[in-house]
Chains A and B, each alone.
Chain A
Amino acid sequence: MFRTAAATAGIVAAIAVLSAVHLTQGTSSTGVLDVLAAVLGDGDAQTLAVLEGSRVPRLLTALLLGVALGVAGAGMQSVARNPLASPDTLAVNAGAHLAVVATAAFGLSLPVLSSGAAAFVGGLAAAVVVLGLSGGGSAGPRLVLVGSAVALTLQSATYLLLLLFEQETTGLFGWGSGSLTVSDLDATAQMTPVVVVAVVALVAMGKSLDVLALGDDNATVLGLRVRRTRVGAVLLTVALTAAAVTVAGPLGFVGLSAPVITRLLVRFVPGFGRHRVLMPVSGLVGVLIVLGADVLLRAVMGSAAAVRVPTGVTTTVLGAVVLVWLARRTRSSAAPRQAPAGRVGVAGSTRRLVVTWVALGALLVAAPVVGLMLGDRLVLLGDLANWVSGRTGTALTFVVDQRLPRVLAALVAGAALAVAGCGIQSVSRNPLAEPGLLGITAGAGLGAIGLITLVPVAGAWQVAGAAGVGAALAFALVYGLAWRAGLDSDRLVVIGIATWSGGTALITLLITTSDPWNTAKALTWMSGSTYGRTLEQVVPTLLALALLLPLLWSRHRELDLHTLDDDTPRVLGLPVERSRLVVLVASGVLAATAVSAIGVVGFVGLVAPHLARSLVGGRHARVLPVAAVLGAVLVSVADTVGRTVISPAQIPAGLVISLIGTPYFVLVLWRTREMRT
């Protein structure tokens, strides 16, 4: 009891110190001495105005956000019985953010409260989908995988709105990462009652949550209404998150790291283990994180420059580090892992195989041909025939000439991503793995945008090269961090997600500090576009595909073995780690070249292998080529759709994939959930 009180007092004291420092930081010349004088009741009018009009609102907002997100994270982790649950990993942040950006993009200028309501609805919808799909949030990283995937989809939709409504949403890009640049307390004041009520209610539920922690069955035996407790807690945590998003945008990873840190303290302060204490203390730790990030940012960059950097960028990077550290700390779960969905080892009948290949062949021919025909200007088959024989007029020749590289880029990048996905899913034995989850796409994006920032006139080859280097470094980082006396696939994926989020935060940092007025270009790049591709940009991907697809195919038996379990391949004499490294490197190279060709395209590496397995069974000898064709067709179709539906404006192919891929992805998740229960 004494220990709990002392530890809590220590945290509060730390908050007080940070708050004092926080008050002395700002863009005006008001400094430590002025603030000190004001506190002693001797301040000049200017100092008082600065305190009242800028610094105190910022401080109080930081306090509110810290409490809201810290408690929300603690609540979610308890409900999901998973230390990796948080507003970020349950997609609540992303859902709330999308709702707010949508209201701005469509010109609905809402007063704060209804904007808060929109955020709540968006966040709740996302949480319901994620919890529903992950079976209420079982322990293990599955919840995080589902949540992160849904979050990325929602983020794609947000990007789309930011791109299409560039002028209407100027300023929202930075806000999208969590900004504390408040100029009054209106929003904070309106959201405070929501936060207070939700925190009080959650703390009041503390006993029930303690019981819930014993497991559903035990809790039921002990007389707890499990379902009602869970639904109530979810609603309260979503309300907290939505309140935070309404005030400052999605402040990344605070809700994840605050409760994690608190739970780590339980070892020293056992009293923190009970929910009635755990929740409020998580809130206080949340405050420490938000304030600490803000103070650190302004101390390092100087207050004037720090205005451009959303505080959420700092908290996300800090949170990503916590996530990696946590993943490295936890021992690999002994639970049996699930093989990728589909009928492993079951081959379809020969007739089915023939039908599939005929259909795929037709699609592989039709997709690019239709891709060449459709667009802002309709080109007919006769035109194409004329073009092939060189009889088209200059205008038409040009149109088809410039469409050809785009169509080819989409085809080869799609195939490369799909093959990479096959390899990664096989060796990580994780049906939800994809190249992005290895940090490859974030690394490539960071490399490319870093180069665009440093050398604005960089040519296509240089950008591709930088993307490749970034991808390789990120992959090496993820792989190195995940390696602890062997490679654990769950750990690999969680560290990959952390790297992805951290990388995205750094990209935001680069854009907002270097070229805050040209976010569209970076956004387009980050969402995977075939716009303005040239034939030479297709070559690296084509080479990688030509070399590595046969290589992987020649090892199809190894891939089959990897999907079984860890022991069987060893028993059969396969050097597991080495084989895994070869497959991962090959997949990494394929994904990196694809990203350098058409930017960040998600979902293909995830969806194509699943589709392939459902068509021809689980043996990689068949899966690999089928997945390659499917990936090529998918991206090609997405590209064609993206530049046709709202022409002359265009939707980047990667966004189309996310938006089309989501329903399928949801289906996969639903089915794998059924399999588990």
Chain B
Amino acid sequence: MRLLTPALVTAAVLLSACGTTETPAESTPTASAGGPVTVTDARGKAVELEAPAVKVVALEWAEAEVAASLGVMPVGVADVAGYKTWNASVPLADTVKDVGTRNEPSVDAIVALDPDVVVMPEGRDATLAGQLEKYVPVVVTKGSDAARNFDRLADDLKIVAKAVGKEAEGDKLLADMNIALDQGKASVEERGLAGTPFLMADGWLKGSTVNIRPFGKGSLVSDVAERMGLVNAWTGEVDAQWGLGQTDVEGLTALTDPKTVLFYSASEDDVFTTGLADNPVWQRLPFVTSGEVHKLEPGTWTFGGPKSVERVADQLLSALAG
């Protein structure tokens, strides 16, 4: 008896595990307009697609946003729930499938969607691109570069636009973004706010422990604000990829210009206004005394594509107006 039950279970499992999940035939390529496309991606690699991609899988949120903005709703995105929380600029359709975490997306899930192309940023996983390429064309974007984030954004956008055959739409997106930024700049100048120093930061609170993460020069958000004629007041050390620094409340005393404005994003707890409200150092900071403390709306993704950039620009502008 002791052996019978497991044996029966095993037999049942084996029987049910027989059979196949596919008919052994070659899948027909997706019929689509346009001939073959060659995209030179951020690795400098020429990726050849038989036709402009229709079914796109994006493994990072900026790339997902860009594809959706171009009118090509991705079939799969890594951490869809996270995207919906953190990036409200370009909503994803309910049909978009989750392909796992951004750090370790599921190769099975990607393949199950039978995509025409996978778009992913450099660096998240060094071996993944090489593996996926055996099955599906992979286009790699730069993702972020604190040395040239605006140009990088344009390059990445063009790479994705070419892969999905929407170059005209891509150019329009860029043009729209530049128009929005130019208008923002004009508006800033009109109100005599050009040259206003700003600090953009986010932060975390754990008990009494506060971590503040300033967006230094080279971060995408900083580039947006500077493009509109503002000046980043944070001069501390930042990392080379994202342009992010790290400090505590005392470190903020480096900001002394009374005209300094604070923009911040906070997800759950509002670290800046509740966690620091009673702190004497905080209370003496220039933007606190002048009341220039502005929170970005939830769902403003500070590492996104052109639509996220426009959303950030809009909010900076209305904050300055308010």
Residue ranges of A at the interface with B (Cβ–Cβ < 8 Å): 26-30, 45-46, 48-50, 52-55, 57, 61, 104, 107, 109, 112, 115, 163-164, 166-168, 170-172, 174-175, 179-188, 246-249, 304-305, 307-308, 373, 375-383, 386, 391-396, 398-399, 401-403, 456-460, 515-517, 520-521, 524, 529, 531-532, 534, 643, 647-650
Contact = CB atoms under 8 A, between A and B. Distances in A.
Given A249-B206, A648-B100, 17 more contacts: A27-B247, A46-B284, A53-B250, A170-B204, A175-B211, A179-B211, A182-B208, A187-B207, A248-B207, A376-B106, A380-B20, A394-B27, A395-B27, A521-B125, A532-B131, A647-B106, A650-B104
B207 A246 contact: yes
B95 interface: no
B12 to A, nearest CB: 13
A650 B100 contact: yes
6 contacts: A28-B281, A185-B208, A186-B207, A520-B102, A647-B106, A648-B109
Top 4 A-B pairs, shortest CB-CB distance? A171-B204, A376-B108, A53-B281, A27-B251
Contact of B19 (A57, A163, A382, A392): A382
Contact of A398 (B17, B102, B111, B267): B111
Given A383-B22, A393-B25, A163 B208 contact: no
Nearest to B98: A648
A175 B208 CA distance: 11
B171 interface: no
B254 A29 contact: yes
B154 interface: no
Given A459-B126, A532-B127, A534-B127, A181 B210 contact: yes
Contacts, number: 236
B281 A54 contact: yes
Contact of B239 (A27, A180, A184, A517): A517
Contacts of B14: 381
Contacts of A57: 208
A180 B22 CA distance: 58
Given A46-B253, A57-B208, A534-B131, A520 B103 contact: yes
Contact of A107 (B22, B101, B237, B268): B268
A187 B17 contact: no
A225 to B, nearest CB: 37
Contacts of A308: 246
B50 interface: no
A259 B102 CA distance: 45
Contact of A457 (B126, B210, B267): B126
Interface stretch (B155-163, B180-188, B193-201, B272-280): B272-280
B27 A393 contact: yes
B21 A378 contact: yes
A409 to B, nearest CB: 12
A524 B104 contact: yes
Contacts of B86: 167
Interface in B90-113: 98-109, 111-112
Nearest to A521: B103
Interface string B259-283: 0000000011100000110111111
Contact of A649 (B101, B211, B246, B248): B101
B134 interface: yes
B30 to A, nearest CB: 13
Given A28-B251, A380-B19, A249 B280 contact: no
Nearest to B100: A648
A248 to B, nearest CB: 7
Nearest to A383: B20
B213 to A, nearest CB: 8
Contacts of B247: 27, 304, 307
B123 interface: yes
Contacts of B112: 376-377, 395
Contacts of A531: 104, 125
Interface in B213-245: 236-237, 239, 242, 244
A643 B100 CA distance: 10
Contacts of B206: 104, 171-172, 175, 249
A170 B98 CA distance: 22
Contacts of A458: 126
A46 B286 CA distance: 12
Contact of B111 (A163, A399, A532): A399
B114 interface: yes
Contacts of B19: 380-382
B250 A650 contact: no
Contacts of B244: 516-517
Contacts of B207: 112, 115, 182, 186-187, 246-248
A661 B268 CA distance: 35
Interface of B: 14, 17-22, 24-27, 82, 85-86, 98-109, 111-112, 114, 123-128, 131, 134-135, 203-204, 206-211, 236-237, 239, 242, 244, 246-251, 253-254, 267-269, 275-276, 278-284
Given A170-B204, A401-B134, A457-B126, A183 B103 contact: no
B268 A109 contact: yes
Contacts of B246: 307-308, 516
Nearest to A164: B101
Nearest to B244: A517
A174 B203 CA distance: 13
A167 to B, nearest CB: 6
Nearest to A397: B135
Contacts of A532: 104, 107, 125, 127-128, 131
A402 B251 CA distance: 48
A638 B253 CA distance: 51
Contacts of A115: 207
Given A28-B253, A45-B284, A377 B279 contact: no
A516 B276 CA distance: 23
A181 B106 contact: no
Contacts of B126: 457-460
B106 A649 contact: yes
A39 B135 CA distance: 70
Given A305-B237, A394-B27, A650-B106, A182 B17 contact: no
Contacts of B203: 171
Nearest to A650: B104
Given A54-B248, A109-B269, A382-B19, A377 B276 contact: no
B235 to A, nearest CB: 11
Q: Which residue among B17, B105, B269 has the maximum number of chain A CB atoms within 10 Å of its CB?
A: B17
Identify which of A401, A402, A648 gathers the most chain B CB atoms within 10 Å of its CB: A648
A101 to B, nearest CB: 10
Listed residue (A26, A188, A403) with the most chain B CB atoms within 10 angstroms of its CB: A26
B248 A382 contact: no
A46 B282 CA distance: 11
Contacts of A174: 211
A375 B204 CA distance: 36
Nearest to A391: B24
Given A54-B281, A109-B268, A181 B127 contact: no
Nearest to A379: B21
A185 B40 CA distance: 55
B103 A395 contact: no
B253 A181 contact: no
Contacts of A516: 239, 244, 246
A383 B21 contact: yes
Contacts of A183: 208-210, 248-249, 275-276, 279, 282
A648 B77 CA distance: 11
Contacts of B105: 648
B209 A179 contact: yes
B268 A392 contact: no
Nearest to B17: A381
B249 A54 contact: yes
Nearest to B23: A393
A61 to B, nearest CB: 8
Nearest to A406: B107
Contacts of B283: 49, 53
